[in-house]
Structure 1
Amino acid sequence: MDGCCGPSHPDGYDEVFDGRFAQRVARRYGARGLSRIERRLVEFLEEAGVRGATVLEIGGGVGEMQLELLARGATRAVNVELSNGYERDAERLLREAGVADRVTRLVGLDVAVDPEAIEPADLVVLNRVVCCYPEAERLLTAAASRARRALVFSHPRRNWVIRSRVAIENRMHRRAQVDFRSYVHRPQAMRDAVRRAGFEIRDERSGLAWCTVGAVRSL
């Protein structure tokens, strides 16, 4: 879910995060590499221990973070997506990197609804995903239940500038009859959900629009 908005059902998600969107993301990655936010999350996971680890990315889009983690020593990765719009570009990137046999891509599975359908992994990633889901605490709780060692996620800053922008975007979607909505969840509630799931937050950083959180499972 390489964006900051979300659907009320998968049809709305497909309408926005389609093949053209995926192409733009793939081109950006090919030209510039990871974004600043993505680099922060990868750096935290490197400190937590990537070599030999398995990775689960929820809403990983074309899979650029998985490619970077595999290059840094991860053994396998699973990507879970609601939209099938990413698949063509994701498969191309996997072939070009020579790691198609090390990544499994699952489409149409809602992790928050059925977490047991996903095998646990050492490292779990949610980049720009909680803003795509109406129940962020439920999603993070489900994601944490799949993480053996570390969990990272990003979320929009909750200030009047971001909330106003999101409100405008939501109004534009409604006027265009696009069944799609963005969310700016309460940061403390999301962190509390992660802690209740047995994790200790070790890293928190804030930028102009996005925040990143890194957590490890408590001993």
Structure 2
Amino acid sequence: MTKFNLENLPKCGAKTRSGNPCQRYGNKANGRCKLHGGRSTGAKTKEGKLAVRVNALLNAIIWYFDNRFYMKIKETDLKNALTAYLNLIDLSKVQSNKLENEVIDIVSQYHVELEITKYYIATYDGPDALLIIQSALDHYYKDIAAQHLLFHIYTPIYPTPFYNRTFGSKAEVKKEMQILIRTAKKKGDYYTGRVNPSPAQRQLKKQLKLIK
């Protein structure tokens, strides 16, 4: 068995603080050493990949001449969004206890594509398309406790036209459990929220009874 020869690897070459190129041996995958991104896998999430696209466009010369280039929707994103939209249409006609989970499964997989293309789809398929997509998105955002809809655990929101819940969202259930646990720790397991009247209140009640 032959030993691996490090000298066959390229030098990293990244610019160091001193201004000179890095002399460490780079990675086979991208030519950089572990200190300069050699172990980086790159963007894996959809949001991360979109950020990479934007960074590439910002560095491209075409950005300064044609802003419409940035606004183009990728064909794959549109295709995935349309697939998800058609599935949501089918689910909007179904009455089932499993409906909530099915909606969450679809939106969790394609929420980025749906957000990108929801107005595009509504332009061609009418305002009902936007209601279906946004109802599904809000259904998903409530479950994951998204910051822009997190207030729904404190106050009721007018119900969406589609995919209404039988019970509360996961965030609501979690909040209720936290309140119950905190109350049980403070007041005991049998605390019902009733406050014992003070001596002054008892005296006032007695006087009211005598008057009656």
TM-score range, shorter chain: under 0.3
Greater Rg, structure 1 or structure 2? 2
Structure number with the higher helix fraction is 2
Normalized against structure 2, the TM-score is what?
0.22
Normalized against structure 1, the TM-score is what?
0.22
